């Protein structure tokens, strides 16, 4: 998660700043690339009860809220998917705040089983974000990612020219997110990455290398007040869309 840019903070630095109930234990991997593997997360979630990457809902609420509710009168109606939920307090806090239609997904069997028991009032689904065929097209108003694509790009190499296999994986994730969003739905992403480097992944190109594969709009906001300062990316699907016909 830190390999994209040398000026960025490392996940270990972040852990010192945001650790919660599992403070006394060290869950840092031996190698940053371990963040890419399911076995790392399964092992970590066996022991760790709760951890929030990149801040909590209370911190992000003022920045997220305008994008969470814009198309709805009531928070309860907004259909939200949290991708790579981990054991974060994000969905629990959002639920307490009135968002009652939340689905959480993660590819770690361990964390999904634990979270199902802790919070039976929400949906918990074990799934890979690069293949979300368990969700029908146009299911969600909002897909929310806090630090999840960051785990996918730890082996991206040169941030100016990321490894093709990583571009392919982030493209798969974005195409799946796009597919499961309703028209006018939004993908909200909180990340360690600087916008210039993240835009490459959020706006994958068609084979011509020029045209965007996905016709969602893109914007980023920099939030200085949280941690060392992080961006929030907002991608919005147009009101009426057909699914992309070309893959990356
Ligand atoms: C850095 S943690 C972020 C956790 C949580 N979103 C938070 O805010 O604290 C990355 C999470 O993404 C999950 N993850 C990584 N790759 C995934 C994939 N391909 N599909 C689904 N979940 C994935 C991991 O299991 C882990 O829970």
SS3 per-residue string spanning 79-106? CEEEECCCCCCHHHHHHHCCCCCEEEEE
Ligand 1 atom with the smallest distance to the CA of 145 is 6
pLDDT of residue 69: 84
Say if ligand 1 is within 6 A of residue 130 CB.
yes
CA of 18 to the centre of ligand 1 (A): 16
The pLDDT of residue 109 is: 98
- The C-alpha atoms of residue 4 and residue 158 are separated, in whole angstroms, by 7
Which pLDDT tens digit goes with each residue over 26-67? 888 889 999 999 999 999 999 999 999 999 999 999 999 999
| Site to substitute for ligand 1 among 4, 15, 37, 84, most atoms within 8 A of C-beta | 84
Beta carbon of 173 within 6 Å of any ligand 1 atom: no
Cβ distance 194 to 231 under 8 Å? yes
146 Cβ inside 6 Å of ligand 1: yes
pLDDT digits (tens, 9 = 90+) for 85-133: 999 999 999 999 999 999 999 999 999 999 999 999 999 999 999 999 9
| pLDDT score of 188 more than 60 | yes
Q: Is the pLDDT of residue 12 over 80?
A: no
Task: Using the mean position of ligand 1's atoms as its centre, give its distance from the Cα of residue 73 in Å.
Answer: 30
- Ligand 1 center from residue 127 Cα (angstroms): 11
């Amino acid at each position: 998660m830190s390999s994209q840019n040398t000026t960025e903070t490392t996940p270990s630095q972040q852990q010192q700043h945001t650790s919660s109930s599992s403070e006394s234990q060290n869950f840092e991997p031996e190698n940053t690339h371990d963040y890419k593997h399911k076995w790392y997360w399964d092992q970590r979630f066996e022991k760790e009860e709760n951890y929030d990457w990149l801040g909590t809902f209370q911190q992000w609420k003022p920045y997220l809220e305008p994008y969470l509710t814009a198309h709805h009168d009531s928070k309860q109606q907004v259909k939200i998917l949290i991708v790579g939920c981990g054991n974060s307090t994000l969905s629990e806090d959002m639920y307490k705040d009135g968002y009652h239609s939340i689905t959480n997904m993660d590819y770690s069997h361990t964390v999904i089983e634990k979270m199902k028991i802790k919070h039976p009032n929400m949906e918990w689904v074990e799934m890979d974000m690069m293949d979300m065929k368990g969700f029908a097209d146009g299911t969600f108003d909002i897909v929310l990612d806090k630090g999840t694509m960051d785990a996918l790009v730890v082996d991206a190499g040169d941030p100016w020219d990321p490894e093709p296999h990583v571009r392919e994986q982030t493209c798969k994730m974005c195409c799946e997110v796009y597919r499961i969003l309703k028209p006018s739905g939004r993908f909200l992403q909180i990340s360690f990455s600087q916008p210039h480097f993240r835009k490459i992944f959020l706006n994958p190109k068609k084979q011509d290398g020029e045209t965007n594969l996905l016709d969602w709009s893109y914007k980023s906001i920099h939030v200085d007040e949280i941690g060392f300062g992080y961006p929030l990316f907002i991608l919005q699907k147009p009101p009426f869309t057909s699914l992309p016909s070309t893959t990356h």
